Amino acid sequence: MDRFSWSVWIINALLQWTLFARLLKKNCWQQHPAFAIYIAFCACKTSLLIWVTQFERPLYFSVNWGCRIIGLPLLIAVLVEIFAAVFRPYSTLPKGTLRWFRIAYTLLIILTAVVALTFPGATPGDVTNTIMVLNRSASIVFCGAFAFTALFSSYFGIPWQQRTYGIGVGFLLFMSVDLFISSLVAMYGFRAGLAMNNVSMLGYTLALFTWLIYFFRTDVPFRTPTLDELKRLQKALDYSERKAESFRDTL
């Protein structure tokens, strides 16, 4: 590993432990428990990988991908936590909001499956290639999910200064970079991932800085969506429903 990559690893580990210490000191883990557990896991993972790289290099691949598998349910828990914060309470939402979000996520899953089948990777059937394609698929799902949530959060009383919004933005930045790199790896093989490894780590560094900025600032309380905001959302939902009904009538 070159000196630059090693420096980025050390910086990311320090940033992760600093963020986790901040979450504990300010009791932010009580409001964002899934996010706090995710950061604690990532801090331990990075520290472990640094040790493995230095003393047990042959284990790096197994430890790295094993940690990714463990981190997947934690990432899902964070997404659910953000989703619940954005759309709480459900009773105040305009009619059809949750239904259209379910449709959006279903289409996202279908898109992911189509991409996986259409672009099966550089060496279909190879175990490493399968892992890379699965990683790309997960990146598409999470990147799209965080993008949808961030796009509509302003309708539900979450200003951009709020920590929940900051968590989502950080993940969106990181997952966008991860999607780009995992797509290259799935298409051109593992060597492409090695060549872009520094870009991936810097993308995560950017996310860590984003989270640190949000958690070192005073949090902004939720506000109740205005009637005009809810009317605009309801109008958009009604328009989508009319277009869907018009499409069904033509069949």
Each domain of the chain, given as residue ranges in start order, spans: 3-250
pTM for this entry: 0.73
Architecture of domain 3-250: Up-down Bundle (1.20)
What confidence score (pLDDT) does residue 129 get?
A: 63
What confidence score (pLDDT) does residue 171 get?
A: 87
Contact status, residue 68 vs residue 208, Cβ threshold 8 Å: no
- Neighbouring CB atoms inside 10 A of 78's CB total 23
Cα 213 to chain centroid distance, Å, stands at 18
Task: Going residue by residue through the chain, which has 251 residues, state the pLDDT in tens, using 9 for 90 and above.
Answer: 667 878 888 999 999 999 999 999 988 888 889 999 999 999 999 999 888 887 777 787 778 778 878 888 888 888 888 877 766 655 556 666 667 667 777 777 787 777 777 766 666 656 666 666 676 777 777 777 777 777 766 666 566 667 888 888 888 888 888 778 777 776 776 666 666 777 888 889 999 999 999 899 887 666 555 666 666 666 665 656 665 566 555 65
Q: How far is CA 220 from CA 26, 93, 150, 210, in A?
A: 15, 21, 16, 16
| Whole-angstrom distance, CA of residue 236 vs CA of residue 246 | 15
| Whole-angstrom distance, CA of residue 182 vs CA of residue 193 | 7
